[in-house]
Amino acid sequence: MFFKIAVRNIFAYAKRSIITVLLLACTTALLVFASAYMDGSHARLIQSSVEIYPGYIQITHHGFRDNPSLENLIFAADEVSGRLRDFPGLAVLAARFESFVLFSSADKAVGAMFTAIEPEKERQISRLAASLKEGSYLTSDDDALVYLGSELARRLKVGVGDQLAFVGTAADYSFAADNLTVKGIFQTGLFEFDSRASFVAKPYFDRMMAAENYATHFIAQPERPAEAAALAAAIGARLGPEFDAASWQQTMAGLVQAMRVDSIFGYITLAIIFIVIFFVVMIYTLLVVYARVREIGILRAVGTGPGQIFAMLLLESVLLGLVSVLLGGLIGGALAWYFHLHPIVFTGMEEQFKQYGLALTDMPTAFAPLVILRDMAVMFVLSVAATLYPICKVNAFKPIEAIHHV
């Protein structure tokens, strides 16, 4: 019976019901879409940053991340790869040796990162090969051939086929120097990376830098990137305390936290809008229940208990809330789904993105049904909570007072 009365009242006060439903539905849609956008764009930013070069899982000798000195290198690279052969969930394992050298061309000298890679495996764990701009990518047999970032090549004023020299410290602290020929130039779009990175094939590097079978770290590519953290833990357990296996959540903690800060500010902004909407819903409920004070007084006078009145009014707001949240969830969910398939493209914002080290402009929204349900639940609770004060207030009238209320 309560249900019938509540539905009738909703239709009897159609204008209030429509305004409340519209307001709540729009807000729910806004919340659902904003969450999907924030989650989606953050995931995209992180994925892009991880995949360009850093990789999902980094395996180092214990203590290397805190103190990346030559004493903390992996000194038996083949042993590590042997122990992780056919490891479940691990797609590719590639060794790297990162060092810094001073490059000098005919009229320029520039300090840069000088990294040894296993070219074929590297192709599967980062976007280096895919970022080729000129010339060609490395192969394992390449001797004294270097793969340079586009900005670094520009600063050194060298092109494909040109010569340049490097000077650096070898793994045994000796002085290492040689002449290199530029084999290829890459452009990831990340200015910082393109202006500081250079790569050579690991066999050549090992010979020049006295680093035979050494590595600064391994990059492990999981079969399912979403499970990187669990795989890192499993690899860590297999390798024992001598090694550290860190997932991107640890190696790129700063970026992860930056995304969290962005979400927090996003939710603060949304919360401010919600506060206003909360009050508007409260005001409209107050107006409607006050318009019905006499009716409620009469109901009380003929024996309806305050609990029943409360239940009746609450059921009205629950029904209105449900309809609004469902409608809003559908609209917001549909938008999230659409922009998940057709990412939003920010043209003209490359400059700002690059400043933050991000080489992308298309942002897909996330489509996560559980998150959408969470947002809908939040809005539902808010919408019902907003009606509690007016309902309690009107229910506090004595029947006679209520009947005489003007």
| Binding site residues, other proteins, CB under 8 A | 19, 23, 67-70, 99-102, 104, 107-113, 154-155, 157, 167-169, 192, 196, 253-261, 264-265, 268-269, 271-273, 275-277, 279-280, 282-284, 286-287, 290-291, 349, 351-352, 354-356, 393
CB of 153 to other proteins, least distance (A): 12
Q: Decide whether 90 or 277 has the Cβ nearer to other proteins.
A: 277
Q: Decide whether 7 or 253 has the Cβ nearer to other proteins.
A: 253
CB of 357 to other proteins, least distance (A): 8
CB of 182 to other proteins, least distance (A): 18
From CA 404, how far away is CA 217, in angstroms rounded? 82
Written in H, E and C, the secondary structure of 157-185 is CCCCCCEEEEEEECCCCCEEEEEEEEEEE
Q: Decide whether 86 or 351 has the Cβ nearer to other proteins.
A: 351
Taking each helix axis from N to C end, the angle separating 369-395 and 293-301, rounded to the nearest 10 degrees, works out to 70
DSSP 224: S
Give which of 19, 40, 37, 41 is closest to 29, Cα–Cα: 37
Residues, the chain: 406
With tokens 């066999």, the residue in question is 203
CB of 104 to other proteins, least distance (A): 6
From CA 386, how far away is CA 279, in angstroms rounded? 7
Q: Decide whether 157 or 342 has the Cβ nearer to other proteins.
A: 157
Pair type for strands 243-247 and 217-222: unpaired
CB of 325 to other proteins, least distance (A): 17
Q: Decide whether 78 or 192 has the Cβ nearer to other proteins.
A: 192
Q: Decide whether 127 or 354 has the Cβ nearer to other proteins.
A: 354
Q: Where are the alpha helices (DSSP H) in 107-217?
A: 119-125, 150-156, 191-194, 202-208
From CA 196, how far away is CA 101, in angstroms rounded? 10
CB of 289 to other proteins, least distance (A): 11
